[in-house]
């Protein structure tokens, strides 16, 4: 994949915090022990396959503005690898970051495009609908 100018991770390491990584027994919301202080992975060359397979939607999609960088809005946007769902993953310490107007507008647009959109924070989840409604998701 070609890199998009202005879409480098830079100081963002939000994925290293909010995603659960079973291989490391890392819970969602806990910073990965392999994340170095300035951001980035200390074991990048030998990281597990789940980390290799992860793709940050913000980095891949030109239409997502710089303001939507995950660490800036507290929400990681991603396609769920196990389904056709679109996920907004938030830090469990700030579970409603997905309600940021920029993020929420994007999530409603994804729902209008026919996607099942789910915001997640730790064990909590909410379904976002194409008319802007949302409800707790089990």
Task: Kindly list the domain boundaries of the chain, sorted by start residue.
Answer: 15-136
Res. 126 pLDDT band, cuts 50 70 90: very high
Q: What b-and-e string marks burial along 8-21, b requiring 16 or more CB atoms within 10 Å of the CB?
A: ebeebbbbbbbbeb
Quote the pTM value: 0.88
Q: Which residue from 86, 53, 50, 63 is spatially nearest to 6, judged by alpha carbons?
A: 63
Q: Among 8-12, 89-93, 97-101, 114-118, which is the least confidently predicted range?
A: 8-12
pLDDT greater than 90 at residue 80: no
- How high is the pLDDT of residue 116? 97
- How high is the pLDDT of residue 1? 57
* φ and ψ at residue 44, rounded to 5 degrees: -50, -45
Average pLDDT estimate for 30-42: 85
Res. 34 pLDDT band, cuts 50 70 90: very high
């Amino acid at each position: 994949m070609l890199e998009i100018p202005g879409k480098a991770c830079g100081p963002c390491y939000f994925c290293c915090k909010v995603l659960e990584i079973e291989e490391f027994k890392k819970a969602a919301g806990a910073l990965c022990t392999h994340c170095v202080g300035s951001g980035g992975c200390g074991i990048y060359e030998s990281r597990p396959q789940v980390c290799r397979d992860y793709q940050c939607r913000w980095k891949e999609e030109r239409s997502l503005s710089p303001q939507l960088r995950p660490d800036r809005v507290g929400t990681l946007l991603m396609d769920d690898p196990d389904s056709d769902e679109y996920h907004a993953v938030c830090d469990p310490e700030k579970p409603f970051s997905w309600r940021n107007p920029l993020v929420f507008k994007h999530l409603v647009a994804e729902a209008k495009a026919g996607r099942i959109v789910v915001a997640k924070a730790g064990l909590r989840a909410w379904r976002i609908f194409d008319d802007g409604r949302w409800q707790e998701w089990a």
